[in-house]
Structure 1
Amino acid sequence: MIRIALIGLWICAVALGSLYFAVWQNTATAAVSAPVAKEALDVGKTEVFSVPIIVGGTVQGYVVSQLAYTLDKGAKDAMDVPVAYFINDEVFRQFYGHFSDTKDVQKIKFDDVKKSIIDGVNARFPKPLVQDLLVEQFNYITSKEIRDQNTKGLERP
């Protein structure tokens, strides 16, 4: 019986010792690391939206995307309208205007598209607002895939 109690005390001592060492190591590392300068940035996300890809007058598929963005906090505070509306509009203009006839969406260089979206949004404001644009979701769905999913389980004539 005493042996079991001693083993239990030993396990508790080892667990507490390792916890103390982990906390001490973490605080020592945090004190040594250089302080990170925080920029005045704000983050946000657009809603999930789709842009039709039209080739030869027919809808071939849809680009479905959701983007995250970083904004200059000072410029955002001066805004009354949510910036996501402007970003959604610019993304729609870019894809529907420039890439609406592109069937191979995977060949599009997103860095060029990202730069043109940021430039397009920032051109609408007196001060540059959007700092960076990040991809949360970016998919291409063909119209055949959508049709097959909508008619799943139904007999075709």
Structure 2
Amino acid sequence: MGKILGIGLWVCIVTLGAVYGSIYLATAPAGPSDEAKKPALELVRGEPITIPVLAGGDVQGYFLTRISFMMDKEKIKGQKLPVTEMMTDELFTLLVGNKMVDIANVGAFDVMAFRDKVKTEMNARLGEGMVDQVMIEQLDYVSKDAARKAADGAPGAMAKTTVVEGEKVEEKPASGH
């Protein structure tokens, strides 16, 4: 009786081992994940810039903006010109030349279209695939009168219109080297 139970147990163990082995060997190894296919990205912080809003040959107000980018780390190394200054120039062109923001109707501002436009224009200028993501940290509008009052030392905070609620972009701490 003991021998029959031992043989039955042995057959069960061998069968389970064979099934486990065949399933393990038949399963294809997982290919590289989407994360592995993406290029290594680096945060390039934009400068805070003030862009005048012109209408009728006169300054009507100012955009206060800071836009940062997630950029391909390898492609940044190959740039001969300073990337931050090129980004600032492109933002001036988009916000002054294209009139993308209607100050009279700030609620109609399409943030995603603005980000896509900035990304497309930056990639056209710097090289395809250079900019992966556009992060708007600040995009406010200040009228000329509010700026003048603040410059003259008026008490209280300067009156401004927030066009886009900014994203918090954290900088990596500097290494101690």
Alpha-carbon RMSD: 2.4
How many residue pairs get aligned? The number is: 119
Structure 2: distance between partners of 1:78 and 1:100? 31
Separation of aligned partners in 2, 1:36 and 1:139: 36
2:89 alignment partner in structure 1: 89
Contact (CA 8 Å) 2:54, 2:61: kept in 1 or not? yes
Give CA-to-partner distance per residue, 1:28-87, whole Å, 9 cap, x none.
xxxxxxx99464111111110011112222211100100111001121121132322222
Q: Using CA pairs below 8 Å that are at least 6 residues apart, which structure has the higher relative contact order?
A: 1
TM-score (norm 1): 0.66
Aligned-pair identity in percent equals: 22
Query: What residue in structure 1 maps to residue 26 of structure 2?
Result: none
**1:94, CA displacement in angstroms?**
0.8
Distance 1:100 1:36, change over 3 A: closer
Q: Paired residue for 1:59?
A: 59
Decide which moves more: 59-68 or 110-119: 110-119
> Which residue does 2:139 correspond to in 1?
138
Conservation of the 8 A alpha-carbon contact between 2:51 and 2:96:
yes
1:135 CA displacement: 1.0
Alignment gaps of 5+ in structure 1 = 1-34
> Closer, same or farther in 2 for the Cα pair 1:98/1:75, shift >3 Å?
same
Mapped to 2, the partners of 1:57 and 1:137 lie a distance apart of 26
Say if 1:52 and 1:61, in contact at 8 Å, map to a contact too: yes
Q: CA deviation at 1:139?
A: 1.1
Give the aligned residue type for 1:113. F
Q: After superposition, where does 1:6-21 map in structure 2 within 5 Å?
A: none
Cα distance in 1, alignment partners of residues 49 and 139 from structure 2: 10
Question: What is the CA–CA distance in structure 1 between the aligned matches of 2:52 and 2:140, rounded to whole Å?
Answer: 12
